[in-house]
Amino acid sequence: MRTIVITGGTDGMGAALARHYLGAGDRVVVVGRSRAKFDALLTSATAARAEFIAADLSSVADGRRVVEHLRAGHERIDALVLAASFVRQRRHVTAEGHEASWVLFFVSKFVFVTGLAAQFGAAERPVVVNTAVPGARADAIDFDDLEMSEKFTFARSNAQQRRANELLGILAAEANPDLAYVTWGPARIVRSSFAGDVGTAMKVGAAVLGKLLGQRPDAAVRPVIGIIDAPSPGRAAFRGAKRRPLTIGAHDDKDAARLAAAVEDGR
């Protein structure tokens, strides 16, 4: 029986994947905030193979606690899906003093991917699917101000975390060449819960676009299921079912190492 860990597995695409893998007979660990939403995913036939870990992944300490819990409870993890999402249009500082989106969309993912290396190492065909839309510019990271205390915009913050998540694949592949590490975004907008704190224009825009052009979460994640069920070792990027080129910058290895040093220093 495979063990599949899904952050943001209580809603949207994460929940669609949780439902699929519970139905397929796998063990599924859901990390999210709402136990009620987790309970709603279960049936009497699947509940025994499901585990819920309540966490706020915009907290560095909570992310580390979840990883410790997973390490203690699971010798092997076959697949990790990183799909927790809470879109903030404005800069928000957490009680820990960090910028919330940088932690939720990058630091917590770094903590999961690096902290679970031994669990991936014990799997025959380990795979990480990181739902960070690939294709951000190579120079999208502001190494002098990773938490964007100045010049924060939604667009800059979004591009930076997407680029950082592509570079995280370099660290993951270095640690385990057998690991498949995929940055993945849907082919088009998905009618999910759009969890977030955004202005009216973005809220209405997402709702209207979602209604007109949006895919259902269970349809959107079909390519992800294909990736998880037949993983190819190494880094890759996808939009929907289509492979996309990885962004190659002039200093990718150095940039990946700089990111790791910054997170490990708590910057």
Q: Which residues are at the interface with ligand NAP (CB under 6 A)?
A: 8, 10-14, 32-34, 37, 55-58, 83-86, 104, 131, 133, 185-186, 189-190, 192-195, 217
Least distance (Å) between residue 122 CB and ligand NAP: 25
Pairs from 207-210 (Cβ < 8 Å, separation ≥ 24): none
d(CA 213, CA 238): 20
Is the CB of 40 or the CB of 45 nearer to ligand NAP? Answer: 40
Q: Min. distance of Cβ 124 from ligand NAP in angstroms?
A: 26
Q: Which is nearer to ligand NAP, 82 or 172 (CB)?
A: 82
Contacts of range 157-164, beta carbons closer than 8 Å, 24 or more positions apart: 157/91, 157/99, 157/101, 157/102, 160/102, 160/106, 160/136, 161/101, 161/102, 161/105, 161/106, 161/132, 162/132, 162/133, 162/134, 162/135, 162/136, 163/136, 163/137, 163/138, 163/247, 164/106, 164/259
Q: Which is nearer to ligand NAP, 222 or 254 (CB)?
A: 222
Min dist CB 262 to ligand NAP, Å, is 21
Smaller CB distance to ligand NAP: residue 126 or 186? 186
Give the residue nearest to ligand NAP (CB): 12
| Closest approach of ligand NAP to the CB of residue 192, in Å | 3
